[in-house]
Amino acid sequence: MSPNQEIDNFLHPRSPYHGKVKPENLVFNANLQEFAQKVSYICNLETAGKIDTKDAYKKIKALWKALKASKKELGIGTDPMNPDNAADIDVDGFNIEPDESDNDPGESDISDIKSDNSE
């Protein structure tokens, strides 16, 4: 293994996939791992004071929207017999309500993220 590969593996670790092996699941898993890695970087930059809290929030929100779009494009969680219910199934039971505006984050923005498990 070359030094560049070792550095890449250190900076961008990947966990093996143990779920149902289908191309769309493998692609979504890679997207999910990339999302988690980028969110970790953003959180660390914000914690270190390198980026503003509002900027971190906006970046994470954009990443989340991209992940949801990926899920929808890949058809993850949809019933192949009933493709109309695609919007009813969310990533890991979490749903972000559609935003009417991209205002600065505040206390009300926390309510955008809801866990289906908490109801």
Question: What token pair was written down for 36?
Answer: 């988690």
Give per-10-residue mean pLDDT for the chain (119 aa).
77 79 93 95 97 98 98 87 56 51 44 41
Domains in the chain: how many in total?
A: 1
Residue 110 lies in a domain: yes
Residue 3 lies in a domain: no
Residue 80 lies in a domain: yes
Residue 94 lies in a domain: yes
User: So what's the pLDDT on residue 1?
Assistant: 73
Domain span at 102 = 13-118
User: So what's the pLDDT on residue 100?
Assistant: 47
What is the Cα–Cα distance from 109 to 103, expressed in whole angstroms?
Answer: 9
Residue 100 lies in a domain: yes
**DSSP category for residue 19:** S
What is the Cα–Cα distance from 57 to 61, expressed in whole angstroms?
Answer: 6
Residue 85 lies in a domain: yes
Q: What does the angle CA 89 – CA 92 – CA 97 come to, to the nearest 5 degrees?
A: 60
What is the Cα–Cα distance from 79 to 67, expressed in whole angstroms?
Answer: 19
